[in-house]
Amino acid sequence: MDWKKEWKPLAVIVAVFLGCFYLPIGNTRFDNALTESLHLIKWYAQEHVLLCLIPAFFIAGAIAVFVSQASVMKYLGPKANKALAYGVASVSGTILAVCSCTVLPLFAGIYKMGAGIGPASAFLYSGPAINVLAIILTARILGLEIGIARAVGAVVFSIVIGLLMHLIYRKEELAKANAQRAMPEPEVDRPLWQNILYFAAMVGILVFANWGKPQYDTGIWHAIYAAKWTITGLFTIGFGMILILWFGLRWWNVALAAVPAAFLGVMFPQQPMIPFAAAVVGLSAITSKNPGQAGDWFAATWGFAKQILPLLFFGVLIAGALLGRPGHEGLIPNAWIVKAVGGNSIWSNLFASVAGALMYFATLTEVPILQGLLGSGMGKGPALALLLSGPALSLPNMLVLRGIMGTRKTAVFVALVVVMATISGMIYGTFWSN
């Protein structure tokens, strides 16, 4: 037996055995961390997979099938107009309002289709970071100045990070640009306005199905929240018509998928996720059996789901065990975090940036968490640092990014976010320390 080849498997087996042998079952903090990881994965499955990730997977699959590589490279590639490419990418979050995990299928879609690393990174950061509702909530609860600082910082971050990623990987971008010159003009299967309406319908479903409850029970935001499922239903009806008229699906197939969802919506008006789930199953059934573009669309969607979901769930479990849920502790005591983010030193800002980058924040949850931390003695500089790094990154997010663009690019992207958030927090804390 060649032990030079066998020592690695042996080392793994021994390490697993020792871990099981000395597993600290019965230790209160360890048991609580296991419970928190399961609580977090349950909450994530209930609140984010069906309403957030599934629509995002279908949008990413549609990008892979219905948007040509030449078109993506024309508008977001290395040779694209920089003002247009970075402008669109940097403000995309105002429309999408997604979390750091939901943006991943969308990022994977445009990146794999040839988008430049610069615009793609700007989109990756801005998607979860530039959220109109979150910025308004930040200004109302934490103060106008930190709300403005968050809004300005997020837009500037997305552009600067994108430009730096482009500069760091300029040789690779040059190779992409050369490949773009050799690409033929894409063949047009349907007019551009039809594709725009097709994507708009899916984005509308994603946005309004996840419209969060505002702080107050009055105003336009609450009116939209009250009508969110009606609006989502209208987008769904329009989406079904588009599939019939422009994508060749038989009307009776679409009806077979829609009728059960509509029936369940009437039967369970207070549980909208039931008809939503039925609609997803129906759409999957009619597209997966289609031999044309609709079948290719489902295949691409399923490919993204297989690649991303396992890593996301694993990352959420680890994040829950280490950091717990809002208001609950994991292995790392909350008191350590609060103690580490007081004042405005470089270390407190760096710690806040790193902690925010590792934690998982659902959309809008970062504001009440920070409100509690500020009340416990957190400095305003570290608070802004966490606001700028937290929503855009998370441990699950990093694990998936590594599979999409590699370890090195992921490490560079994370480092840029953390360093810029740290510097921004220090500058902000210097001028608004009270």
| Sequential pLDDT tens for the chain (434 residues) | 565 667 788 888 888 888 888 888 888 888 888 888 888 888 878 877 888 888 888 988 888 788 766 667 667 776 777 777 787 777 665 566 667 777 888 888 888 877 888 888 988 888 787 777 677 778 877 788 888 888 888 888 888 998 999 899 988 877 776 666 555 555 556 777 888 899 899 988 988 888 877 767 777 878 888 899 999 999 999 999 999 988 888 888 888 888 998 888 888 888 888 999 999 999 999 998 888 888 889 998 998 888 888 877 887 888 788 777 766 777 877 777 777 787 888 899 999 899 888 887 766 677 767 777 777 678 888 989 988 898 888 888 898 899 888 899 999 999 999 999 999 999 988 887 65
Element (H, E) at 9: helix 3-21
What CA–CA distance (Å, rounded) separates 421 from 351?
10
pLDDT of 181 reads 59
What CA–CA distance (Å, rounded) separates 76 from 249?
31
pTM, rounded to two decimals:
0.77
What CA–CA distance (Å, rounded) separates 195 from 22?
57
pLDDT of 97 reads 60
pLDDT of 235 reads 94
**Residue 316: closest CA among 90, 13, 52:** 52
What token pair was written down for 206? Answer: 């994603």
C-beta of residue 358 within 8 angstroms of C-beta of residue 323: yes
Angle in degrees, 0-180, between the axes of helices 170-181 and 144-168, rounded to the nearest 10: 70
**Helix, coil or strand: residue 237:** helix
Secondary structure of the chain: what % helix, strand, coil (to 5)? 75, 0, 25
pLDDT of 412 reads 95
pLDDT of 201 reads 92
What token pair was written down for 10? Answer: 């042996």
- Strand locations in 21-159 (E): none
CB contact set of 383 (below 8 Å; sequence gap of 6+): 142, 146, 341, 352, 370, 373, 374, 425
What CA–CA distance (Å, rounded) separates 300 from 293?
10
pLDDT of 318 reads 83
What CA–CA distance (Å, rounded) separates 1 from 81?
60
Element (H, E) at 245: helix 228-246
At 384, phi and psi to the nearest 5? -65, -40
What CA–CA distance (Å, rounded) separates 207 from 230?
13
- Strand locations in 126-267 (E): none
CA angle 394, 396, 400 (to 5 degrees): 115
What CA–CA distance (Å, rounded) separates 361 from 369?
9
What CA–CA distance (Å, rounded) separates 107 from 122?
10
State which amino acid sits at residue 422: T
**Residue 388: closest CA among 160, 175, 169:** 160
**Helix, coil or strand: residue 332:** coil
pLDDT of 393 reads 87
pLDDT of 391 reads 81
pLDDT of 247 reads 82
pLDDT of 430 reads 85
pLDDT of 185 reads 57
What CA–CA distance (Å, rounded) separates 151 from 132?
8
